[in-house]
Structure 1
């Protein structure tokens, strides 16, 4: 092959590879239809509809946009829960077991917030495998807090509810990421 033809052929292949469309998502719907289809696969359908439906931009969102919405909801929840834990730790005369649980959960939630930030960055870069890794790590942080709450004498009903909701939010975001993963 002559060098000029080889360069032209290589250029055409590179151009074709660069402009090739990614495979269509598993769910071609968008907006409300996408939310409905997604929430039907959620472990808590009502919770999924309520949380994603609370955002007006979800009504017209594509799957990637819905992923950003779900991650932002989970991140806001994690940040609020982290602030709740910090406020509880400032309470005087906490039972030692509850204080230990709150300390553990505080560390877990600080990590979870960072994991969700990394998940969002990965999603925006179309790195769905990384989103999966970061989200599963955030879920592990929530599960560690859940274990600490269950295993110790000191408990906090509000934190238990917040943690349960956090895990559901992360799992819903993971469902969306599964849609996006080719």
Structure 2
């Protein structure tokens, strides 16, 4: 088993994830890698570039610490797309196959290119659907919060009005006495 030195680990090329953060009027960016974890080792800056530069500094400090402690230093993982060749077989009915061939001929492109366009569009639509669903969930949560606040205010106003309408029971004037 070969011992890898500190420079080896510092030179590893990790996929960096950049997130834009916003709180009130303040905006900043964080940069991290999945191998180290979002909160174990990250960089922060006013711009994405500053966050990346900060990450590299923090990564070196973090790797040095792990190396000195003899702890496991995670190496970059391969991306999912590197695991696939881009070639696969699809079984379909002869009718669908014929229709796809005819449509690709009508467009004057190969069946392979046509299927790539169809699949590409479906993948992009799915990403859009996920974004829309996330936004809808966020809006529903805001609506529920607003509904809760309005209901709370209405209940408070209702209790105040009910308290004001009991004035006749407290009033002992001569005009309200019954014989």
Q: Same fold (TM over 0.5)?
A: no
More helix by share: 1
Higher relative contact order (Cα pairs below 8 Å, separated by 6+ residues): 1
Q: TM-score range by the shorter chain?
A: under 0.3
Q: TM-score, normalised by structure 2?
A: 0.26
More strand by share: 2
